[in-house]
Structure 1
Amino acid sequence: MAQRWVWAVAIAIASGAVAGAANAQGEEVRTVPAPADAAYPGTITLNVDASDVGRRIFRVREEIPVAAGPLTLLYPQWLPGNHAPRGPIDKLAGLTIRGNGQPIAWRRDPVEVYAFHLDVPQGVGSLSVEFDFLSPQDSGQGRVVMTPDLLNLQWNTVALYPAGHYSSRITVAPSVKLPAGWQFGTALERAQGSGNAGDADGTIAFKPVPFDVLVDSPMFAGRHYKRIDLGGTPAPVHLNLFADEAKSLEFKPEQMEPHKRLVQQARKLFGSQHYDRYEFLFALTDQLGGIGLEHLRSSENTRSPGYFTEWDKWASARDLLPHEYTHSWNGKFRRPADLWTPNFNVPMQGSLLWVYEGQTQYWGTVLAARSGLLTPEQARDDLALVAASYAENRPGFGWRNLQDTTNDPIVAQRRPLPYRNYQMSEEYYSGGLMVWLAVDAKLRELSGNRRSLDDFARTFFGVDDGGMTVRTYAFDDVVAALNTVAAHDWAAFLRQRVDALAPPLDGLAAAGWKLVYTDTPSDYHKHRDTGRKAIDQSASIGLTLASNGNRITDVRWDSPAFKAGISPSGTLVAVNGREFSAERLKDAIAAAKDGKAPIELLLKNGDEYRTVRVDYRGGLRYPHLERIPGTPDRLNAILAPAK
Structure 2
Amino acid sequence: MRLPASKSLSSATALLALIAPIVAPLFSGFVIANGALAATENAAADKTQVNTGKSADDKAYPGVVQLIVDASDLDRKIFNIRASIPVQAGPLTLYFPEWLPGKHGTNGALNQLAGLRFSGNQQVIAWKRDPLNMYAFHLQIPAGVSQLNAEYQFLSPTDDKFGRVTMTPEIIGVQWNNMILYPAGAASDQIHIQPTLILPTGFQFGSALELAEQHEKLSPSQNQSQSQSQSQSQSQNEFQFKPVTLEQLVDSPVFAGKYFKRFDLNPGAKIPVHLNVVADKPESLNATPEQIAAHQVLVQQATILFGSQHYHHYDFLLSLSDEFSGIGLEHHQSSENGVRPGYFSDWTKKSSGRDLLAHEYTHSWNGKFRRPADLLTPHFNTPMQDSLLWVYEGQTQYWGYVLAARSGLMKQEHIRDVLANVAAYYDHQSGRSWRNLQDTTNNPVFVNRRGQAWSDYQRDEDYYREGALLWLEIDAQLRALSQEKRSLNDFASKFFGVNDGSTTPLSYQLNDIIRTLNDIQPFDWGHFLQERVEGLQSKTPTASLELAGWKLVYTEKPSEYAKASEDASHDNDFLYSLGFSLDKTGKISRLLFNSPAGKANILSGSVIIAVNGKSYKAEALKSAITNAKTQKQAIELIVRHGDYYRTIRLDYFEGLKYPALVRNNLIPDRLSKILTPLK
> Which TM-score bucket, shorter chain as reference?
over 0.9
Matches within 5 A, 1:27-42: 37-42=58-63
**SS of equivalent to 2:317:** strand
Letter in 1 for 2:434: W
Tell me by how many angstroms 1:603 deviates: 1.6
Change (3 A) 1:128 1:622: same
CA contact (8 A) 2:611 2:621 kept: yes
Which amino acid is 1:122 matched to? A
- Residues paired across the two proteins, number: 618
Q: Answer yes or no: is the 8 Å Cα contact 1:36–1:165 preserved in 2.
A: no
Instruction: Determine the structure 2 residue equivalent to 1:86.
Output: 107
1:16 is displaced (CA, Å) by 11
**1:254-293 equivalences in 2 (<5 Å):** 254-293=290-329
Amino acid across the alignment from 2:290: E
Alpha-carbon displacement from aligned partner over 1:582-610 (angstroms, at most 9, x marks no partner): 11111111111145333111222223222
Matches within 5 A, 1:62-461: 62-194=83-215, 195=218, 196=230, 197=232, 200=235, 202-231=237-266, 233-392=269-428, 394-461=429-496
What residue ranges of structure 1 are gaps of 5+ in the alignment? 1-9, 19-32
Compute the displacement of 1:85 (Å): 0.8
Alignment check: 8 A CA contact 1:358 1:433 kept: yes
Distance, in Å, in 1 between the alignment partners of 2:13 and 2:444 is: 29
Q: Which residue of 2 aligns with 1:29?
A: none
Query: Structure 2: which amino acid aligns with 1:77?
Result: E
Aligned equivalents of 1:35 and 1:526: distance in 2? Answer: 56
Residue among 543, 549, 554 paired with 1:506? 543
What's the CA shift string for 1:471-529, capped at 9, x where partnerless?
00000001111111111111111111111221543111111111001101111111112
How far apart, in 1, do the equivalents of 2:234 and 2:516 lie?
A: 50
Shift of 1:256: 1.5
List runs of 5+ in structure 2 lacking aligned partners.
1-9, 19-53, 219-229
RMSD after superposition? 1.8
Conserved 8 A contact 1:48-1:61: yes
CA offsets per residue over residues 25-64 of structure 1, 9 Å max, x none? xxxxxxxx99962101100010001111111111110000
Structure number with greater CO (CA < 8 Å, separation at least 6) is: 2
Equivalent position amino acid for 2:556 in 1: D
SS in 1 for 2:214: coil
Q: Indicate whether 1:634 and 2:670 are aligned.
A: yes
Q: How many Å apart are 1:72 and its aligned residue?
A: 0.7
CA distance in 1, matches of 2:12, 2:290: 63
CA distance in 2, matches of 1:239, 1:439: 32
1:487 and 2:517 aligned: no
Asked if the contact 2:551/2:663 (under 8 Å) is kept, the reply is yes
Flag as ranges the 4+ runs of structure 1 deviating above 6 A: 13-18, 33-36
CA contact 1:545–1:554 (8 Å) conserved in 2: yes
Give the equivalent residue in structure 1 for 2:558.
521
| Matching residue of 1:608 | 644
Q: Secondary structure at the match of 2:581?
A: strand
Determine helix, strand or coil for the equivalent of 2:639: strand
| Contact kept in structure 1, 2:201 and 2:235, CA below 8 Å | no
Change in CA separation of 1:545 and 1:378 when aligned onto 2, cut-off 3 Å: same
In structure 1, the residue corresponding to 2:661 is in which secondary structure?
strand
Between the aligned partners of 1:401 and 1:198, the Cα distance in structure 2 is 57
Please give the alpha-carbon distance, in whole angstroms, between the structure 2 residues aligned to 1:534 and 1:243.
Answer: 25
Distance in 2 of aligned mates of 1:508 and 1:162: 51
Whether the 8 Å contact between 2:633 and 2:651 is mirrored in structure 1 is no
**1:152 and 1:221 in contact (8 A); partners too:** yes
CA gap of 1:512–1:61, structure 2 versus 1, over 3 A, is same
CA distance in 1, matches of 2:568, 2:458: 25
Q: Distance in 2 between matches of 1:586 and 1:427?
A: 29
1:533 and 2:570 correspond: yes
Preserved contact between residue 423 and residue 541 of structure 2 (Cα < 8 Å): no
User: Which segment drifts farther, 405-414 or 571-580?
Assistant: 571-580
Q: Which residue of 2 aligns with 1:45?
A: 66
Q: 1:494 to 1:98 in 2, by over 3 A?
A: same
SS in structure 2 at match of 1:315: coil
How many Å apart are 1:569 and its aligned residue? Answer: 1.4
Cα pair distance change 1:171/1:624, threshold 3 Å: same
Question: Which is further off, 159-168 or 303-312?
Answer: 303-312
Q: Is the 8 A contact 1:296 1:333 kept in 2?
A: yes
Cα distance, 1:36–1:591 mapped onto 2, change above 3 Å: farther
Q: Could you tell me which residue of structure 1 aligns to residue 227 of structure 2? A: none
Q: Cα–Cα, structure 1 residues 488 and 198, in superposed 2: closer, same or farther, change >3 Å?
A: farther
Contact 2:390 2:438 in 1 (8 A): yes
Q: Does 1:588 align with 2:609?
A: no
Residue identity opposite 1:629 in structure 2: N
Give the letter aligned to residue 452 of structure 1.
Answer: S
User: Which secondary structure state, in structure 2, belongs to the residue aligned with residue 193 of structure 1?
Assistant: helix
**CA offset digits 1:303-333 (Å, max 9, x no partner):** 1111111112331120000000000000000
1:35–1:129 distance in 2 versus 1, CA, 3 Å:
farther
User: Which whole-Å CA distance do the structure 2 matches of 1:532 and 1:166 have between them?
Assistant: 43
Amino acid across the alignment from 2:58: D
Determine helix, strand or coil for the equivalent of 2:213. Answer: coil
Separation in structure 2 between the aligned mates of residue 463 and residue 86 of structure 1, nearest angstrom? 32
- Counterpart of 1:523, as a letter, is E
Following the alignment from structure 1 to structure 2, what is the Cα–Cα distance between the partners of residues 198 and 386?
49
CA distance in 1, matches of 2:58, 2:380: 14
Mean CA deviation greater in 230-239 or 520-529: 230-239
SS at match of 1:317: coil
Letter in 2 for 1:484: D
- Cα distance change on mapping 1:508 and 1:114 into 2, 3 Å: same
Q: Give 1:426 shift.
A: 0.3
CA contact (8 A) 1:49 1:58 kept: yes
In the alignment, the residues of structure 1 paired with residue 246 and residue 416 of structure 2 have an alpha-carbon distance, to the nearest angstrom, of 42
Query: How far, CA to CA, are the matches of 1:223 and 1:600 in structure 2?
Result: 52
Could you tell me which residue of structure 1 aligns to residue 223 of structure 2? none
Question: Which amino acid is the alignment partner of residue 525 of structure 2?
Answer: W
In the TM superposition, residue 635 of structure 1 has moved relative to its aligned partner by 0.6
- Which range moved further: 110-119 or 404-413? 110-119
In the TM superposition, what is the alpha-carbon distance from 1:296 to its structure 2 partner? 0.5
- Aligned residue number for residue 21 of structure 1: none
Distance in 1 separating the partners of 2:580 and 2:423:
18
Instruction: Report SS of the residue matched to 1:256.
Output: helix
Compared CA separation, residues 126 and 61, structure 1 to 2 (3 A): same
Cα 1:629–1:590 change in 2 (3 A) is same
Equivalent position of 1:7 in the other structure: none
Q: Is the 8 A contact 1:198 1:205 kept in 2?
A: no
Of 576, 587, 592 in structure 1, the residue corresponding to residue 612 of structure 2 is 576
Task: Give TM-score scaled by structure 1 length.
Answer: 0.94
Structure 1 letter corresponding to 2:261: K
